[in-house]
Amino acid sequence: MALTVSKSGKREDPRYYMEIAIDVMKKSIDERNKKNPSPHVGAVLVFPNGDYDVAWRGQFREGDHAEYTLLDKSYRTKDLSGCWLFATLEPCGPGARNEPKIPCAERIANARIEKVWFGVQELNPKASGGNEYLEKMKVKVYPFDSDLHHVVHKFNKDFEDWVEEESKKKTISDSIHTGLLNFSVENSDIGSLSPDALKLYISKTNKDIEWDSEELRADLISKNLLEINDKTKVASPTGNCLLLFGKNPRDKFPQAAVKAKVDYGNGIEPDTESFDDAIILMPNQVEQWVKKVIPESMDRSTFTREKVSHFPTEVIREAIINALVHRDYSLDGAKIQLDVTPEKIEVRSPGEPFYPNTLKDLQSFSAVSYARNIGIAYIFNLMGLMEETGVGMDTFKSLREKHNLPLPIIAYKKPNVTITFPRNFEGVKDANEILQNLTPELLHAYEFIKVNIEASRKEYAEYAGISDKTAYRRLSELKNQELISDNGKETSSKKYRYVFINK
């Protein structure tokens, strides 16, 4: 059965097709002979001229993947070179399908699709790895816009809630190991795990089991955190397990630590602290330390014209959690660092920005949640320590509106991604030299454009509660300093917008 090709000609606007994929996703059909819910997936195939075709999971036959319906049932004999594909779920990776079935990522690469956009990451270890495979096969992969990730997750809530229960039925042999952290660690056993960490895990996931029970052992096996030796039948912790729950994770991973320092100013000797426990214990430990030292590190604020001694600790907690989950644990000797001074707070996380997010995405707060360490991210999500649908971007963007503080400044200086939270106007200047000459009023305008990517003069005037004339003067000054640009329209046009520039 052939699908009907629709005309669009909007290939210059990827979001147009993202929204179509989401609309199509809602047509997905559950498999009637299965009690568990199926993921709802929509896909859009875009031809070089902008025309497109659509498919959804189960469209013609129960259980058929949307990508399979598009590429195999409708265009198996067609030349799809130069085409684009949009799918609301990361295409399933190598090993996800039983032979002779072909995983969607392989099917896409074989069809010579040029670019792929995906909605949300596949966290099921059995089906994950599609994006990495496509990148290896020289297919360009991009995420949907961050706000659309929330839509996809919300529509698939029943399926995502079921995943936790389904994981209990899986065995270690069902898993696909894609990194060193997924393998068992030599000379370690269940005795290497921290009772405190295991008890916190049980509490946060609402399990009615004991920390040293066979039920917990089975649960950890089902999540690929314990690996059974085929000969001895002994369960050994994986690298992920030791990082998450180990008594002394640094015995095997010396880099698994958060090093913190506070400089109180005024000639007072700085204090240091090292957090070395299981990483699921660290968010609370760091938060308690921050609550203790921040009031004492006085903020001599010139930003709000008032003395403000506190900083929202939930923001620092979010930054530390993101560092623990997304850092590169393969970098020997590289530790997460937290520095507190009267002017700013810095969190340094080892590793480059993780694909598909770029430094530009991080700097404009448009990055999407895509975990470098899937096993760690999954447990943090289950425990409610972080949200799957964000990487702290919403928290960071809210600093000015909720707390009247400058936006954080994100940079990469090998080997760390650094997030700097200015506590006052001087902290902004210290963190970013290109903003040295800005007044607080110009910084306010700059940060508005930064958060919104592009906006009109009227939109900024309404937000700031100022006249159009004042808004025009501020935005024009930023443009003259080449800190922002425009969309190329005539200044008299209603479609004229000021545009943020990443520098």
Closest CA to 377 of 326, 441, 439, 448: 326
Domain count, the chain: 4
Is the pLDDT reported for residue 275 higher than 70? yes
Task: Report DSSP letters for 383-403, one per residue.
Answer: TTSS-TT-SSHHHHHTHHHHH
Is 266 among the domain residues?
A: yes
Is 4 among the domain residues?
A: no
Is 104 among the domain residues?
A: yes
Q: What's the helix, strand, coil split of the chain in %, to 5? A: 35, 15, 45
25 and 76 fall within a common domain: yes
Which residue stretches of 345-452 are H helix? 359-363, 374-382, 393-397, 399-403, 425-431, 440-452
Contact 346, 268 (CB under 8 A): no
The mean of the pLDDT values for the chain is: 84
What 3-state class would DSSP assign to 167? Answer: helix
Closest CA to 121 of 142, 97, 98, 95: 142
Residue 342 to residue 264: CA distance in whole angstroms: 7
Matching residue, tokens 């089975």: 218
Is 9 among the domain residues?
A: no
Higher pLDDT, 162 or 487: 487
Residue 272 to residue 269: CA distance in whole angstroms: 10
Query: Sorting pLDDT into bands at 50, 70 and 90, what band is 75?
Result: confident
Mean pLDDT of 180-198: 89
Domain boundary among 407, 434, 461: 434
Query: Sorting pLDDT into bands at 50, 70 and 90, what band is 164?
Result: low
For the ranges 164-178, 182-196, 227-241, the lowest mean pLDDT is seen at 164-178
What pLDDT sits at residue 126? Answer: 65
Residue 37 to residue 159: CA distance in whole angstroms: 5
What pLDDT sits at residue 389? Answer: 45
What pLDDT sits at residue 171? Answer: 35
Mean pLDDT of 323-344: 91
Helices (H) and strands (E) in the chain, counts: 19, 16
Strands 140-143 and 115-120: parallel
Residue 479 to residue 471: CA distance in whole angstroms: 12
Domain boundary among 165, 182, 197: 165
Domain span at residue 239 reads: 172-250
Query: Sorting pLDDT into bands at 50, 70 and 90, what band is 401?
Result: confident
- Residue 356 belongs to a domain with what CATH number? 3.30.565.60
369 and 267 fall within a common domain: yes
Domain boundary among 218, 250, 282: 250
Query: Sorting pLDDT into bands at 50, 70 and 90, what band is 366?
Result: confident
Mean pLDDT of 282-297: 86
Query: Sorting pLDDT into bands at 50, 70 and 90, what band is 438?
Result: confident
Higher pLDDT, 458 or 265: 458
412 and 474 fall within a common domain: no
What pLDDT sits at residue 100? Answer: 66
- The kind and range of the H/E element at 202 are helix 195-204
Is the pLDDT reported for residue 176 higher than 60? no
Residue 154 to residue 148: CA distance in whole angstroms: 10
Is the pLDDT reported for residue 503 higher than 70? no
276 and 398 fall within a common domain: yes
Percent of residues, the chain, with pLDDT higher than 90: 42
CB atoms within 10 A of CB 319: 23
276 and 386 fall within a common domain: yes
The DSSP symbol for 10 reads -
Mean pLDDT of 96-122: 84
